Every structure is written in C-alpha cells, then in structure tokens.
Amino acid sequence: MRSNERPRRRAFLVLSFLPTTRVYAYSKPADMRKSFAGLVGIVEQEIGKQVEAGGLFLFFNRRHNSVKVLFFTGDGLAIFYRRLERGTFELPRTAADANTAGVEIKLSDLSLILEGIELASVKRRKRWHSAVVPA
C-alpha cells in the first residue's frame, strides 16, 4: 500500500432471518439482469414455490461470482445482490448435483456461502433433531 492510500474498509450488512426460514437455491445459472418479475417467474414456474409464502430464493450466475437473494418482506419483495471482486460462491453439493431446478438448503449454509467458507471443510457436530419434517 502506498503512503497516500487509505486502507480499505470492509462493510458489513446484517440480514437476519428466523431459524425456521426456508432457503431454496436455484441450481441452474441465472441471468443476473433479471429483476423482481423475472426472478418471481423462475420461483413459481421452475422451482414450484410461491414467493409470498416466505423463504429465501438464491440465484447464482454461471461463474458463481454473483448471487441474488429474493425474499418477501410481508408487504413487498426485496432483492439482496452481491458480486465478488475475486473468488466464487460455492453451491452446496446437493444443489450443484441436482437435476431439479430448486434445492432446499440450510439457513446456516447460506451464511457460510456468503462468507466464502468452503462447505466441504465444515465439520458439523451431532445434534438432536425432530423426526417430523415441517411442511
């Protein structure tokens, strides 16, 4: 760094969701030029979900250096868009290998994906979980 350059600051954006929030990753490359109507069309026609029912919907570009997160706020739609200057986002193994258009992933995996943590390197400790799967 040159003496006249200021150090870069890292900005943090906090998005908080309930632990019960469902997350769906679109497994095909998405056109990042699409906005609300185009992404809602993908959710309804290809993933088979309703955006207004809740949940987060992830869309990655072909190079996996951009992601859009579409969600319903209760009175409208919102899009969180992130593009990396260097590196890529890693899709969970199930989403990358899926033959279906949309794959449900864990909310905790979303945090890891956005932070750039390699999912294969994460070791999860055993936890109790209900045998009943929520609808």
Mean pLDDT over the full length of the chain = 84
Domain membership flag for residue 91? yes
pLDDT at 41: 96
Give residue-wise pLDDT tens across range 5-53: 666 666 555 667 888 899 999 989 999 999 999 999 999 999 999 999 9
Enter the DSSP assignment of 37: H
pLDDT at 63: 94
Domain that holds residue 34: 23-119
pTM value is 0.78
Tell me what the mean pLDDT of segment 67-92 comes to: 92
Q: What is the DSSP string of 79-125?
A: EEEEE-SSS-PPPPHHHHH-SSSEEEE-HHHHHHHHHT--GGG--PP
Domain membership flag for residue 15? no
Whether the per-residue pLDDT at 59 is higher than 60: the answer is yes
Rounded to whole angstroms, the Cα distance separating 13 from 130 reads 32
pLDDT at 90: 87
Domain membership flag for residue 85? yes
Rounded to whole angstroms, the Cα distance separating 104 from 92 reads 10
Tell me what the mean pLDDT of segment 94-101 comes to: 66
Domain membership flag for residue 16? no
Domain membership flag for residue 73? yes
Query: Hunting for tokens 């949309």 — which residue is that?
Result: 102
Domain membership flag for residue 9? no
* Residue 68: other Cβ atoms inside 10 A: 20
User: Per the structure, how many domains does the chain have?
Assistant: 1
Q: What three-state secondary structure class fits 57?
A: strand
pLDDT at 19: 84
Domain membership flag for residue 27? yes
pLDDT at 2: 55
Residues 6 or more apart whose Cβ sits within 8 Å of residue 47: 24, 26, 57, 101, 102
